[in-house]
Amino acid sequence: MRKILFLSFLVFSFGYSQNKQVLYDFNGLPQTLLLNPGSKVTNKYHVGIPLLSQISLQAGFTGFSAYDIFADNGIPINDKIRAAVNNFGKSEFVTINEQLEILSGGFELPNKSYLSFGYYQEFDFLAKIPKDVIDLFYEGNTIIDRRYSIKKLSSRANLLGVLHVGLTKKINKKWQVGARAKIYSSVLNASTKNNSGNFYLKNGNLNIYNQHLDNVNFSLQTSGVVLNDQNEITPSYVKSNFLFGGSLGLGIDLGFTHQLKKQWVVTGSILDLGFIYNTKNVESYNVKGNFQVEGLQLVFDPNNPQKYWEEIKSDFDEDIILDTINSNYISFRPVKLNGAISYSFGRSYDYCRFLIDADSYLNKVGFQMFSTFGAVHSYIAGTFFYERKLSKKVSTKLTYTIDPFSFANLGAGLSMQLGPVNTYLAVDNLLNLSNLYDSKSASIQLGFNIIVHHKN
């Protein structure tokens, strides 16, 4: 049982993939191909600087911010904690996502399709925390018949390596489509979902109170967490699991770019449509049953001493069944959907007022949608954006996003080409830069690529 509690804690302490609204469809960066394999790419070829081509960090908690608790404003911390607990929704969620591109590259094929490939490492986590669990911890169980439910308690964690190869093909003047195949190599996976059960206190008959655990059904699947006797967590073990020695899976990304009209473009993608077949160090648990206790009934029979404690433990073990399962299982990747519509305007002229490029515009405005859905949690985000080419070498993008963390998430991106070297930076929650601690979420992506464009 203690092992389950530890593993549960582990699950509730790890991540999940999120919105990269600034990077999506930004300036033809190679990394946009990971968000939409059907993106327009005008490069001849690109090579990501190993380990530096994309460093992405995202974290968020919908419940409260660090500033809500630790603001140095004269209000006692215990009052601030109470306020945070009172404002806690029916369930809130916490996410952490980290991606590190180890290798990436791509080149244009003779038929003008673009082949891109690479390998990245990803750690993601999401935990959904019901208020009942917070209340039980914060207040205790002294309210008679108050039911503390674990129905909304769910979480998933995954640490994996992803090898991918994608092809972007222009079908005609209006359509460009792309697909990316992925091989996942999971180092660890843990998930708990579809849980149920109530804990509560009632007035008793034989005793003052009767304590109940009703309809408990809690399951926790793990792979790569509980190691067998042969394995220890060593750098070589983790490396081996990243490099296809772990549980393996397959996935696919699909995307398109559609030139609706000359200045109107619609794009869309579906990412991580795939699964991992968890086979390495698999251990799963299921806890199920009903239990109620009114206490220990003393019989005062010196000739027949009772083992009261053992009996109640035995009753508990009979009524609440713990199954430990070592069967392989399939876990699905959280699927991400992106969609955008944009309008481009503003021509670029040289000093003699000649049109520089008939196919390109300086400005782009539009609206993007992001949605992720999975068994643990789904959410949707909407983004208005403005992208501006400051020159042939420098582009910027500003975004305004409404998501579960904030109704005013302002983001910005900058992409610069210095010779063949491209560098980009995308950050969000700029409005909270004046007080980072007050932010409920933050994300940053940055990287360096060698990008070689066609000569005009």
Partner 1 sequence: MKNFKFPLIFLLAALVNSCTKDVDFNQIDDANIHASYIVTLVHFDLEANKFLDEINQEMNWTSDVIAAKISTESQKYLEKVEFTIITENSFDREFLINVIFFDENQIPIYQLNPTITIQPNSSSTKTIIIPQSDIDFIYKAKYFGFNIEMPPRVDGGVLSGNETYKLNLKSSVELFFNYRKI
Instruction: Say how far apart CA 108 and CA 357 lie, in whole Å.
Output: 21
SS3 208: coil
Query: Nearest approach, Cβ of 155 to partner 1 (angstroms)?
Result: 20
**All residues at 6 or more sequence positions from 308 whose CB lies less than 8 Å from its CB, including other chains:** 296, 298
Assess 244 for contact with partner 1 (CB under 8 A).
Answer: no
| Closer residue to partner 1, CB minimum distance, 85 or 380 | 85
Assess 384 for contact with partner 1 (CB under 8 A).
Answer: no
- DSSP element (H, E) containing 136: helix 131-139
| Closer residue to partner 1, CB minimum distance, 36 or 406 | 406
- Return the range that interacts with partner 1 (CB under 8 A); candidates 25-33, 116-124, 176-184, 198-206: 198-206
- Minimal CA–CA distance to 198: which of 211, 209, 185, 188? 211
Query: Nearest approach, Cβ of 61 to partner 1 (angstroms)?
Result: 16
Query: Nearest approach, Cβ of 53 to partner 1 (angstroms)?
Result: 22
Instruction: Say how far apart CA 190 and CA 9 lie, in whole Å.
Output: 11
Assess 141 for contact with partner 1 (CB under 8 A).
Answer: yes
SS3 183: strand
Q: Which of 1, 3, 139, 147 binds partner 1 (CB under 8 A)?
A: 139
| Closer residue to partner 1, CB minimum distance, 312 or 450 | 312
| Closer residue to partner 1, CB minimum distance, 73 or 111 | 73
Instruction: Say how far apart CA 456 and CA 211 lie, in whole Å.
Output: 78
Query: Nearest approach, Cβ of 207 to partner 1 (angstroms)?
Result: 4
| Closer residue to partner 1, CB minimum distance, 232 or 301 | 301
**All residues at 6 or more sequence positions from 133 whose CB lies less than 8 Å from its CB, including other chains:** 148, 150, 153
- Bin 60: left if φ > 0, else alpha if -120 < ψ < 50, else beta: beta
Q: Which of 295, 339, 382, 404 binds partner 1 (CB under 8 A)?
A: 295
- Minimal CA–CA distance to 27: which of 428, 425, 427? 425
> Where do contacts with partner 1 occur on this chain (CB under 8 A)?
66-67, 69-73, 76-78, 81, 137-142, 201, 204, 206-211, 293-302, 305-309, 362, 388, 390-391, 394, 396, 398, 412, 414, 430, 433-438
